[in-house]
C-alpha cells in the first residue's frame, strides 16, 4: 500500500507516520508538509531513515506541486491532516485558515480526481458541531448532529467536510471523514494547551487559563486516534463519517491542576485570563458508531495518557 499523508511533520501526522511504519513496515509513505511554524522536519528524523518514506516540502494549496507529486507517486490512499488548527490564530487571521483548510483541501480533491485513489480520508474535528451546554451531561455529539461551528477555524473545517462529501456525490470520489475530540501526546506544538501547561509549569511560568476554566473537553490520546484511522482505512468505510472520542471529559481548570500535581508545582502558577471570543463550553463525543462497526475503543485514559505526555516533554522534547 502507498499512503499519501499531508501535514505529516505536524503533531498528529507525525504520530500517525510512526504508528504506520511500525505496524506496516512494508508500506510506502509519501509525506507532504509546508513546514510552517507548526510542522517540524526534526519530528520525522527517524521516519526518514526508511527507504520506504519520501518527503516533499510543499504547500497543499500549490496545485501544480500537488499534481506533480500525485503523477509521480500515484498514491492509493490519502490521509489529509494538513490544516491550520489554532483557534486563537483563526480569530486573528481567519483568511489563512480559509486558504489552507478549504482551498488546500479542494486542491487535493482535484488531484485525487485526476490521479484516482482508493480513498481520500479527511481528518476533521468535533469542533465543527459547535458546543454543548455544561449543565447537560447527557448530551453528546453524534455523526447526525448538525454542524454549527463557532470559530473561523471550525467553520473552515466544516467547509472542508462539506466539500469532501460534495466531491463524493458530484464526482464519485471515494472518501471518508473522521471527527476527533481534543488530541494530546508527543510532538504537539507548545502553543496548544497541554504542552503549554507542561512546559510553563516546568519553568515556573504562569499557567494561563481562559475565563473561569470551567470549559470541558473530551481528551483523546493521539495513538488511540491513529488506531481509529487505521481501522477506517482498512474497513469498508467509503462514504462514512465517524466520531472518535476518548471518553475523557475534564474541565480546563481540573486538567491544569492535575498537571501541577504531577510536576510537583504550586497551583499558584495558575493565572486566569480574559476569555476567548466565542469560547465553546463543552465538547463531548459519542463514538458508538465506530465502536459498533469497527470495534474501536480508546485504550488510554486521561491520567495514563497525561503521564506519558508529561514524561515525553520532561525528557526535553519539543
- Give the residue numbers marked as catalytic: 126-127, 153
Order of strands, sheet of 182-184, starting from the edge strand that comes earlier in the sequence: 182-184, 216-221, 249-251
**Residue 100 phi, psi (nearest 5):** -75, -50
Please give the sequence-ordered ranges of beta strands (E in DSSP) within the chain, or none if there are none. Answer: 2-6, 28-33, 53-57, 77-80, 119-125, 175-180, 182-184, 207-210, 216-221, 241-244, 249-251, 270-273
285 touches 140 (CB < 8 A): yes
177 touches 78 (CB < 8 A): no
Helix axis angle, 152-171 to 104-114, nearest 10°: 20
209 touches 272 (CB < 8 A): yes
24 touches 76 (CB < 8 A): no
Closest alpha carbon to 118 in 76, 80, 79, 69: 76
65 touches 59 (CB < 8 A): yes
Amino acid at each position: 500500500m502507498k499512503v499519501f499523508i499531508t501535514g505529516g511533520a505536524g503533531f498528529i501526522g507525525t504520530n500517525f507516520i510512526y504508528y504506520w511504519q511500525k505496524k506496516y513496515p512494508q508500506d510506502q509513505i509519501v509525506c507532504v508538509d509546508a513546514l510552517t511554524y507548526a510542522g517540524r522536519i526534526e519530528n520525522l528524523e527517524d521516519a526518514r531513515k526508511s527507504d520506504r518514506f519520501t518527503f516533499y516540502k510543499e504547500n497543499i494549496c500549490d496545485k501544480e506541486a500537488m499534481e506533480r507529486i500525485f503523477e509521480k507517486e500515484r498514491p492509493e490512499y490519502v490521509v489529509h491532516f494538513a490544516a491550520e488548527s489554532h483557534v486563537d490564530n483563526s480569530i486573528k487571521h481567519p483568511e489563512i485558515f480559509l486558504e489552507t483548510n478549504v482551498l488546500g483541501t479542494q486542491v487535493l480533491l482535484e488531484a485525487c480526481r485526476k490521479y484516482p485513489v482508493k480513498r481520500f480520508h479527511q481528518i476533521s474535528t468535533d469542533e465543527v458541531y459547535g458546543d454543548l451546554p455544561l449543565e447537560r451531561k447527557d448530551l453528546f455529539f453524534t455523526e447526525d448532529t448538525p454542524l454549527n461551528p463557532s470559530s473561523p477555524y471550525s467553520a473552515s473545517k466544516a467547509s472542508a467536510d462539506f466539500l469532501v462529501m460534495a466531491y463524493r456525490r458530484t464526482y464519485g470520489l471515494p472518501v471518508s471523514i473522521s471527527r476527533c475530540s481534543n488530541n494530546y501526546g508527543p510532538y504537539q506544538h507548545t502553543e496548544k494547551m497541554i504542552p503549554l501547561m507542561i512546559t510553563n509549569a516546568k519553568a515556573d511560568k504562569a499557567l494561563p487559563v481562559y475565563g473561569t476554566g470551567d470549559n470541558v473537553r473530551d481528551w483523546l490520546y493521539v495513538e488511540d486516534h491513529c488506531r481509529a484511522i487505521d481501522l477506517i482505512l482498512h474497513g469498508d468505510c467509503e462514504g462514512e463519517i465517524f466520531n472518535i472520542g476518548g471518553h475523557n471529559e475534564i474541565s480546563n481548570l481540573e486538567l491544569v491542576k492535575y498537571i501541577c500535581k504531577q510536576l510537583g508545582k504550586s497551583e499558584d502558577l495558575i493565572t486566569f485570563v480574559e476569555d476567548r471570543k466565542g469560547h465553546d463550553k463543552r465538547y463531548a463525543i459519542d463514538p458508538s458508531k465506530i465502536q459498533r462497526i469497527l470495534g474501536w475503543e480508546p485504550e488510554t485514559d486521561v491520567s495514563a495518557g497525561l503521564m506519558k505526555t508529561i514524561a515525553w516533554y520532561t525528557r526535553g522534547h519539543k
